[in-house]
Amino acid sequence: GAGVSQSPRYKVTKRGQDVALRCDPISGHVSLYWYRQALGQGPEFLTYFNYEAQQDKSGLPNDRFSAERPEGSISTLTIQRTEQRDSAMYRCASSQAQVGEQYFGPGTRLTVT
Amino acid sequence: GQQVMQIPQYQHVQEGEDFTTYCNSSTTLSNIQWYKQRPGGHPVFLIQLVKSGEVKKQKRLTFQFGEAKKNSSLHITATQTTDVGTYFCAGYNQGGKLIFGQGTELSVKP
């Protein structure tokens, strides 16, 4: 079926606003990962879920960042009170099993002005 | 915490030359994966290695996993312009978190 989709693809927001980034994984995939990728760097782990359970959120930079996957499918990464340093490409990936090949979405480019 | 390092950061080769990127982890990995990211694209899975000393080949690409499961390499024979991109290694830690290296950017001059 379709691959991993993310929306919006681009988001420009003013400092202090909240943003919600959405990830729609491949149907049936158990695990869902959120990453942040700076230009010229590898994806930086943020958090991941198995089904609806958040397994590890150690990569979330601070308490302004949160993520949920309430029904074990679509996930939302929320950033509250955005700051300029939050500007980055945010990527989502899903995998059929916990330790396996990850399929990445196209990413959301977030710009905080 | 666990770190995955790759060298070199950049590699410029003439088409037809070979290319190798090396990956080292600060801790033992349960497995290692390799991804390729084309300019403007997203990471795409290439392969996963699980066993100590494992070697796998995909056409002109050869992947190795070290005996101690702390290092890995990707070798491309006779590069082509289609090989251009950034190659990332990534290792799972015991908790199921995938840690990426910083990547090796390959450019190929025709």
Q: Tens of pLDDT along A67-99? A: 999 999 999 999 999 999 999 999 999 999 888
| pLDDT surpassing 60 at residue B99 | yes
Contact: A33, B42; criterion CB under 8 Å = no
pLDDT exceeds 80 at position B26:
yes
Does A56 contact B92 at a Cβ distance shorter than 8 Å?
no
Our CA-based measurement puts residue B95 at a distance from the nearest CA of chain A, in whole angstroms, of 8
Quick one: what percent of chain A has pLDDT higher than 90? 93
Coil, helix or strand for B81?
helix
Q: Do B42 and A105 touch (CB under 8 A)?
A: yes
Q: Give yes or no for a contact between B76 and B18, defined as CB atoms under 8 angstroms apart.
A: yes
The whole-number pLDDT of residue A110 equals 98
Could you tell me which of A77, A55, A81 has the C-alpha nearest to residue A66? A77
SS3 B52: coil
Best CA proximity match to A21, nearest among A70, A61, A66, A72: A66
Q: How far apart are CA B29 and CA B91, in angstroms?
A: 6
pLDDT digits (tens, 9 = 90+) for B40-59: 999 999 999 999 999 999 99
**For residues B24-33, average pLDDT:** 91
Higher pLDDT, A23 or B26: A23
- Mean pLDDT across chain A: 96
CA dihedral A53, A55, A57, A58 (to 10 degrees): 170
Percent pLDDT > 90 in chain B is 85
Q: Which of A25-34, A72-81, B87-96 has the lowest mean pLDDT?
A: B87-96
| B94 band by pLDDT with thresholds 50, 70 and 90 | confident
Report the C-alpha gap between B98 and A48 in whole angstroms. Answer: 10
* Residue A40 touches chain B, beta carbons under 8 Å: yes
Q: Please, which residues have CB within 8 angstroms of residue A1's CB and are 6 or more apart in sequence?
A: A26, A27
